[in-house]
A and B are shown apart, each in its own frame.
Chain A
Amino acid sequence: MELQNTQVMHRPLTLTTTDPATGVVTTIPVPAGDVFFAAASSPSLGVAIANDAAGNQELVVNALVIRSDATNGGGSISVTVTDSNGDAAGELTGADAIDIVPHPVQPVVTIGAPTFTTQPAPTAPGP
């Protein structure tokens, strides 16, 4: 996925279990004391664990370089999240791996040089 170099991406972190019989995935509360860790496959991507507004741990990802994608031999940066309880890691890989792309330049309204035509003098005195 693309991450613009002016974007900071926040992603919630949860723990899940999967019922082996039905495949149903259940989200369970993160136990107190379980601490998440994040690592990126490239130093061009900043990754950290922070608390969101509700106090839950979240993954924070941001660009540390202007561009890192296939055009300059970078990109496809994977992110791995582990925790202190040793649960199965969460990963951003494949289509979820990060390409850092420049923030698109926004168009600016520019007023050009003047040219002139004529009209009758207005009748109202002003101001």
Chain B
Amino acid sequence: MADDINPARRDELTAARDKLVPIKRGLEDSVLTNISENLRSAYAHWLESVTRRMALIDNELAWMDSLNIHHEMLLDDGYPKDVQAILEPSLWEELQREQADHEAARAIFREAQAITIGAPTFTSQPVPDKPGP
């Protein structure tokens, strides 16, 4: 089993859950005691809140477990090493031929270019003889 990919988060969630366990148990017991209906109702309301919080924590922990499994599968696949594709010599030779053809075809293309006439500078000449236009 690979290491947990986020142990700090798991510790935080586990601690939060551990803190809720006795609270939930106390609320469950309290609901059953001889108390007024209003207090029983308040206990029931907060018992529901605590139960929901624990369920959400359990849900995230379960997803973390699942994430760890997927992470381990990724490591088993060789990650983070690059994928190494190996070909039989005959296939390698075919690939090289294809690549040469592709490069030959690509070599006839070039990016479209435009001629740009830059800003003028001036020198001088004698006045022309012809009148124009």
Binding site for B on A (CB under 8 A): 5-18, 27-28, 36, 42, 44, 59, 62-69, 72-75, 79, 81-83, 85, 87-92, 96, 100, 102-103
Contacting residues, chain B, for A69 (C-beta < 8 A): 133
Interface SS, A side = strand
A90, B116: Cα distance in complex, Å: 5
Contacting residues, chain A, for B114 (C-beta < 8 A): 15-18, 87-88, 90
Size of B's binding interface in residues, CB under 8 A: 23
Interface SS, B side = loop
- Contact between A6 and B113 (Cβ–Cβ < 8 Å)? no
Contacting residues, chain B, for A85 (C-beta < 8 A): 113
CB < 8 Å neighbour of B131 from A8, A27, A67, A92: A67
Q: Mark B114-129, 1 if CB is under 8 A from A, else 0.
A: 1111111111111111
Residue among B112, B119, B120, B122 with most chain A CB within 10 A = B120
